[in-house]
A and B are shown apart, each in its own frame.
Chain A
Amino acid sequence: QQQVKQSPQSLIVQKGGISIINCAYENTAFDYFPWYQQFPGKGPALLIAIRPDVSEKKEGRFTISFNKSAKQFSLHIMDSQPGDSATYFCAANQAGTALIFGKGTTLSVSS
């Protein structure tokens, strides 16, 4: 019940295309759902996060869609750029507890 399942494991998108990464969770007590971006040899950087009281949050080219009934949330990267090539992790937690991470998605954006 503590797992966060992330897919796909890897993704190749053409420059200008839309990258979509999906995550699913089981624990209905989770109330915070962030996405992190990690470049090789660096720590993860908080990209965008959502709470279950909204169904969508947009920041620039990055959008989180949240489906509470399906217990799923996804990251959409619009107009994907080669600089977006990185590993993306979804995560979830309940306030006061440690984040549970998905296994990560390696995104490659071809120019």
Chain B
Amino acid sequence: GAVVSQHPSRVICKSGTSVKIECRSLDFQATTMFWYRQFPKKSLMLMATSNEGSKATYEQGVEKDKFLINHASLTLSTLTVTSAHPEDSSFYICSARTDRANEQFFGPGTRLTVL
């Protein structure tokens, strides 16, 4: 299957700082990437849909000014958590979709801990 990478795999930061998470499709081009958030023992919660070259579409209740998404190329999307606070601590997972088959492949996730 297609490979999606995420960097970093885990990050610890102080409250008030900003953190950038990268999501890359390694062996395919992804016009659409998705960002999810997952709490312990819970399902994946879609945060936003990112299309290459255009603004991301955010789900209801997700603050677009807090979670900045950039999809600058067909293989890279970034999520920046601005002015992070402890309640932003979570497991963030990206996915990328192949246009051909509507299949969606997930990255390994990034564990964010805000102190």
Contacts and interface: CB of A to CB of B under 8 A. Distances in A.
A69 to B, nearest CB: 23
Contact of A45 (B6, B46, B106): B106
Contacts of B105: 46
Contacts, number: 46
Given A89-B44, A98-B46, A104-B43, A34 B104 contact: yes
A41 B111 contact: yes
B34 A44 contact: no
Contacts of A101: 43-44
A42 interface: yes
Interface residues of A, number: 21
Interface residues of B, number: 22
A96 B104 CA distance: 11
B108 interface: yes
B43 A42 contact: no
Given A46-B106, A101-B43, 15 more contacts: A34-B104, A36-B106, A41-B111, A42-B108, A43-B6, A43-B107, A43-B108, A46-B103, A46-B104, A89-B43, A95-B102, A98-B34, A98-B49, A99-B46, A106-B41
